[in-house]
Chain A
Amino acid sequence: MTEPKPPANAAASSGATKASPSAGTKPVASGGTSSRRFGWDRGALARRVTALPTPVKWLLIALFVVFLYALPLLEIPIISTPDTDFGAVLFTVASYVLVALGLNIVLGYAGLLDLGYVGFYAVGAYTVAVLGSFQAHLSWWMLIPLAVLFSTISGLLLGAPTLRVRGDYLAIVTLGFGEIIRLTALNTEWLGAAKGITQVPRPPSVEWFEIPHLQWDGFTAFIDLGDTTKFLFFGVADQAPYYWLALTVIFLVLGADRMLRRSRVGRSWEATREDEDAAELMGVPTFRFKLLAFACGAFIGGLSGALFASRQGFINPESFQLLLSILFVAAVVVGGAGNIYGVTLGAIVVGYLPERFRGFEEWRLLVFGVALILLANFRPQGLLPPRRAKRAIAADEQLEALEEGTARV
């Protein structure tokens, strides 16, 4: 197999050894050893949890879900943000999580590096804004499906011509797409141009009952009847209801993600990521599945953008900078592309930390850069790499050790 070949076979094998476009899914051999040194043993905890009887597991999950919904009411001193409404921060984090879950399908599962994901986010947001206040006055319940529809269509329109190119080229084309969407919005009077769109419709409110918040005095908490959240009033001051809405959407998306992952669709995405040519030759219509991944990603991105616009009440092209796309990719890669818990954690890190430490805002990008460098060095697979990548790294290490062993003999 190593003998020199004439051009005919060389052409075949050069096509064969093409690299996977996603850095996040490629185990880096040199990082393998360090990730073991600096990693923690997740296996032990996971084993202990899976060993629990099923009802206990369900109870724990239920408690955790209740805890997540209750977060904005608990006002826990250390994690609550001192400078901004905690509900608003939680919503921001939730929308990052949603975006990361969507991008994870494109980047983590199908291995397509999309640097213009903010474009879909913008299409979702602008659909709600333009059709909800600026040019028409559709009801919010109509706007959300329309926003998702338009972003999905834009995903298909972008994907159909560009998914024929691979790797770096795809990254550049998608990068361009994100900018085109922003610049179009910026330069089109019909879309509000630079001054943006105000009076974006909020989700319809009901005012059923009020829920009191907790108040903390040192380590004791008491119920503060003076500080309540109206269920479910989507206003400006108290943003907890938006967080509840986003959290609910996240759970729905998580469910859908799981269904897709454990089906022909998920397998085809992964096979395409691992080796596109081999997948095609095993009967996977890879182009169709890449397009599908793009559409699913755009669907979730558009949904997230629509929620963002209806929370914000006001949008302009400034909200959809290129930097946001980079942050989205960072959330996925930092957390661990391909692992939904990983990307969720990544999104929390990218979305929450800057809000918590607002005092250091000028240092934000610097700290972020340093953190990324450290991460790339010590955990190249992300904070919570997919179980498989981790096992694969272990296998590589074994192999390396074996090779070294035989070399010495």
Chain B
Amino acid sequence: MAEATVQMLGIRKQFPSVLANDNVDFTAYAGEIHALLGENGAGKSTLMSILTGVLQPDSGEIRINGETASIRTPKDALQHGIGMIYQHFKLVKPFTVAENIVLGDGNVRVLKKKKLEAQVKALSERYSIEINPSTLVWQLSIGEQQRVEILKVLYRNANILILDEPTAVLTAEEVKELFVTLRKMTENGCTVIFITHKMNEVMDYADRITVLRDGRLVKTMTKAETDEKELAKLMVGREISMGRRNTTDTTTERELLRVQELTVLNDKKLEAVRKLSFSLYGGEILGIAGVSGNGQKELMEALSGLRPAVSGTITLKGENITKRSVRQRISDGVAFIPEDRYGFALVRELSVADNAGIKAYRLPEFSRGGIVSYKKLTKQAEDFIEAFEIKTGGPKSLVQSMSGGNAQKLILARETATNPDVILASYPVRGLDIKATESIHQILVKEKERGAGVLLVSEDLDEIFQLCDRVAVMYEGEFMGIVPIGQADLETIGLAMSGAARMEGDPNA
């Protein structure tokens, strides 16, 4: 076998709340495409940030080409030939391709445009990267911008290339081209490492695969030794740790929400939700599993009215609400627990009472003749604090002084106060400790027992199995099937999450 270019031994990295890397060993060789596979939070990015000098490990050793290397900054990494391509490009848009490539290269004193462009041209031809060095970057497609990023590190003589989820922003055609380029580079003796959670890319393009889970190394293997099923199992891995918490079947015939052929764009104006159709019934929790970034955020925002639907319809209790405003949908009975707690749902700088009132203030109970009763809003906050056991200094204390769990309880108290019919909950327990998680789950189960339909987006399969009555898996804007929870198992969900196979099941069972 070829020489090991990268050796990481016993890498450990502790963050304040999580152990991101726990004694991880990782080896990559010249001439290989090495996939680093794992769910979000498995520790892939941390490991690569350590290799590129962005983070310092607490302990462990890094050897590059057999020699111990001290990598304290990305510049050190580059001197060892390690270059990183980030998911979000760092390009200067009004500059040309060639200018971007030379930018930051301390050896260049005078910019000789012609010579530089010729250099870039030669480099791009060597790796069959199609690009015009004199084009301005803002005119390039996303795929082309990524090529500029790759050329940028190649120009600095990197021979170990790390790509952080490189295909997340690309079209299918661009993905193919990218891997042609990467293959060309390995043929030239480079080492290519790419971070991913997409099974098909791993099986199509990788030579070897390392699977991480919960900060630990699970297994490193060649592609020939494994198959999709094994990888899915390794990636999702653990046994269901706790029993089902949602034990009563309260699902009714009442169709609360019907989504038909819904298409929604993301901020980059690409289709994030594609012709999605499903129904949500009263008294059920419908789980949407899947790796985040597959359209969950856009789906929930479209249902809540924050993001317009490009096509398709949303029907709530038999009425078409596709064009209704956020305000109307709230009064129609749609509650929303967004994934970005402090970005969307709470204002840190305002008090608990103010935050509790941001939807209630316009209800007749709290305002008469256009005048808001702050007294009643404060009373409401007191009721929330008591009923949901929210730990806080009182209704007047600021939300920024609360813990994440208590802040989330406040959101749930507010959102469920008006007995909504549909509850949209995105990652409601993300970042919370066990106790807070438990109480949030209890609230959701209570709501479904009351008759509400709960749409629960989660990456955590434990949570899905504990809470949901039915489960759908979202992948690239589509559902890979919806099945009753009794018919789902880890393996099929794992395969569906990585887009390898659809879930089969009788949705009416």
Are A and B associated in one complex? no
B positions within 8 Å CB-CB of A: none
